[in-house]
């Protein structure tokens, strides 16, 4: 009985180590073979940001990925005017009513945003989204940008209704999902 418990405990700990190590940004392999020079494991919402910054063009190619259920949504953005949600210029991704991933830009102007597609205050191109292995992934090229250090915000919600992301919870990790980031860091 003690040996069985010891073996069970060993396999449980080993699987937890493997799962947690698989969730880091450094060892993640993208299916399209894209390689990013920089990444960060974001502190909440089981999310990760990968990027390549081109200093001569002042553009950044980002990929944001987060654990999410297929009926949910994710968003990542830059807040050029503050440190929280309001003012964020965001990229949004979710599965639409036809089961296809949809990605677009939106501006977060209140604590109850409409989340409708609209242009940002900076250029965004090559926006795309995928759903792979219980993760939603959104990629885009941003810029040219004025500067390299920005307040970033990321979020996740549990539901989409009529192809519109619905409000996320307003407690815990959901209200701590912001930080400052320098695209020149690695």
Does residue 91 fall inside a structural domain? yes
> Number of folded domains in the chain?
1
Answer yes or no: are the C-beta atoms of 168 and 174 closer than 8 Å: yes
Domain that holds residue 136: 34-182
Domain at 128, CATH number: 2.60.40.1210
pTM: 0.84
Residue corresponding to tokens 């792979």: 132
Q: Is 134 left (phi over 0), alpha (psi -120 to 50) or beta?
A: left
Tell me, yes or no, whether 28 lies in a domain: no
Query: pLDDT by residue for the chain (186 residues), tens digit each?
Result: 555 444 343 443 443 333 444 568 999 999 889 999 999 999 999 999 999 999 999 999 999 999 999 999 999 999 998 888 999 999 999 999 899 999 999 999 988 888 899 999 999 999 999 999 999 999 999 999 999 999 999 999 988 888 888 877 676 777 889 999 999 986
């Amino acid at each position: 009985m003690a040996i069985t418990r010891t073996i069970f405990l060993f396999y449980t700990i080993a699987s937890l180590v493997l799962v947690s190590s698989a969730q880091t940004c450094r060892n993640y392999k993208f299916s399209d073979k894209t390689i990013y020079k920089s990444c960060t494991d974001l502190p909440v919402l089981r999310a990760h940001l990968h990027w390549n910054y081109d200093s001569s063009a002042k553009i950044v190619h980002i990929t944001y990925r987060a654990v999410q259920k297929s009926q949910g949504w994710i968003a990542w953005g830059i807040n050029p005017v503050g440190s929280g949600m309001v003012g964020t210029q965001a990229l949004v991704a979710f599965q639409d009513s036809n089961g296809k991933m949809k990605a677009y830009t939106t501006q977060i102007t209140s604590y109850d945003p409409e989340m409708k597609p609209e242009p940002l205050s900076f250029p965004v191109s090559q926006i795309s989204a995928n759903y792979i292995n219980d993760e939603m992934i959104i990629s885009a090229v941003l810029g040219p940008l004025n500067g390299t250090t920005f307040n970033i915000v990321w979020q996740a919600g549990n539901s989409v209704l009529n192809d519109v992301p619905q409000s996320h919870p307003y407690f815990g990790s959901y209200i701590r999902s912001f930080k400052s980031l320098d695209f020149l860091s690695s």
